[in-house]
Structure 1
Amino acid sequence: MYNPNMHSTYWDIREAISAQYPDYKWNFDALPFGLTTINFGPQTVCDDHIDDTDNAFGLAPTRSFGPFDYKKGGHLVFPSLKLAVQFCQGTEAWIPTAMLPHANTQIGEDETRYSVTSYNSGGMSEWVYRGGLSKRGWLKYLKDKSRALEEAGLDVERPGILRERLFPQWT
C-alpha cells in the first residue's frame, strides 16, 4: 500500500462508526470509505473544483469507465498544477480531493464516460474525533468540563501529529 497509515486511519474511522451504529450498511466490505459517488454519465464531466467537505488530509480513489477515446478526452486535469493526464477506462487515481483543484475534459459526442469516487467526509472524522458528538455538542462538553483552554492548546499540536502519522518521511 502506498500509505498504510492513512489506510489504517480510515479503517479506524469506519470501525468507530460501525461500533456506534452496527446496522449501518457500508457501500463496500473491502474499502474503508464511508461514501461513494457514482456518475452514470453518459457524459460525465466535472468543472474545476475542490471537494471541500472531504477529509482534508485524505486521498480519494477516482475511477473512470465507459467506451471513450481517452487520448482525445476524459483527461484528469489539475489546473493549479497546469497538468492534464490521459485517464483511460479502468484507471484509478488517488487524489487529495479536498486540497487539490481537479476537473476532467469533455469526451466525444457519441462517447460515454462514467466515474466512481470513494471518500470520507471531514464530518465523519470530526464525529469520531469528538467521541460521537456534533461540533456543538463537543463545544458544550468542553465548556461543561472546563477543558476548552486545554483542548485549544492540544488543537495546536494535532495537525503535526496527524501529518506525521499520515505522511511519514520514508528513509
Structure 2
Amino acid sequence: AGAFQMFAPRTAELYATTMDELWAWNPLLRKNFSFSLFPAATFNLGPNTICYPHLDHGNVAFGWCVVTALGKFDHRKGGHLVLWDLGLVIQFPPGSTVLFPSAVLKHSNTSIRSGEYRYSMTQYCAGGLFRWVYNGFRTDKSINEEIAAGTYPAAAAEKRAEDRRTRWKRGLAMFSHLNEFKKTL
C-alpha cells in the first residue's frame, strides 16, 4: 500500500474508505493481504505468462493495478512491460513491481526466451465493487428499476444522474501532479 499511497494518495484513500465500508457491511469478507488496499488478486502461473495489448475495462476507471513479475528470465531480452499509449517499453525484471492505471493505459508484455519462465501477480479493484458500495450495497439494476417504477426518491435519482455526469472529473482529479511528488520525495 505504501507506493500506492505515495504516488496516488487520493485514489489510495478512496480505495481504503470504500473497502472499509464493504468489509464493515459484510464481516465475512477478508482482505487478500493485510497490507494491501486492493480487494482482488490474480496469480498468473505461466510458465510463460504473456498478456496481449489490452485495457482492464472492468477495473475502476481511474484506479490502479499492481503487477509483480516473477520467474527466471533475462529482463534485458524479454518480459518487458509495454505501455502502448505512452510509447514506452520498460525492462521489467523478476521481483519488480509496477503500479499503473490499467483501465486507461493499454498494456502488454513481451515474450521471453525458450527455457525461461515468467509468472506474475496482479492486484486490482473491479469497478463493480465501487458501484456496489456507492449504491448502498445494491446493484445499478435494482435502483434503475425503482427509478423506472417511480418508487426511488426523486432527489436521490437526480443526485445519481449528476454524479454520473461528473464522475469523470472526480476520477481525473484523483491523479497526482508532478509538483505533488516533489513534496513527498
TM-score, normalized by length of structure 2?
0.85
Q: Distance in 1 between matches of 2:161 and 2:77?
A: 51
Please tell me the residue identity of whatever aligns with 1:63. T
Aligned equivalent of 1:146, options 134, 154, 158: 154
Runs of 5+ unmatched residues, structure 2: 1-5, 181-185
* Separation in structure 2 between the aligned mates of residue 69 and residue 23 of structure 1, nearest angstrom: 42
Q: Aligned ranges for residues 67-78 of structure 1 at < 5 Å?
A: 67-78=72-83
Correspondence 1:130 to 2:135: yes
Which residue matches 2:114? 109
Deviations 1:44-77 (A, max 9, x none): 0111111110110111111101110000000001
Shift of 1:95: 1.2
CA spacing shift, 1:101–1:162, aligned 2, 3 Å:
closer
Q: Tell me the amino acid that sits aligned with residue 75 of structure 1.
A: H
1:155 to 153, 159, 164: 164
1:69 & 1:161 partners in 2: Cα distance? 41
How many residue pairs match? The answer is 170
SS in 2 for 1:36: strand
The 5 Å alignment of 1:10-89 reads 10-89=15-94
CA contact (8 A) 2:68 2:95 kept: yes
Task: Report the equivalent of 1:8.
Answer: 13
Higher share of residues assigned helix: 2
1:98 is aligned to: 103
Unpaired segments ≥5 residues, structure 1: none
Runs of 4+ in 1 over 2 A off after TM superposition: 79-82, 140-143, 146-151, 153-164, 167-171
The 2-side partners of 1:2 and 1:168 are apart by: 7
C-alpha contact 2:75 2:93 (8 A) present in aligned 1? yes
Identity of aligned residues (%): 33
Could you report, residue by residue, the CA deviation over 1:125-166 in whole angstroms, capped at 9, with x for unpaired residues? 1111111110112223444222433432343233323433x1
Which piece of structure 1 moves more, 112-121 or 135-144? Answer: 135-144
Two-structure CA RMSD over aligned residues (Å) = 1.7
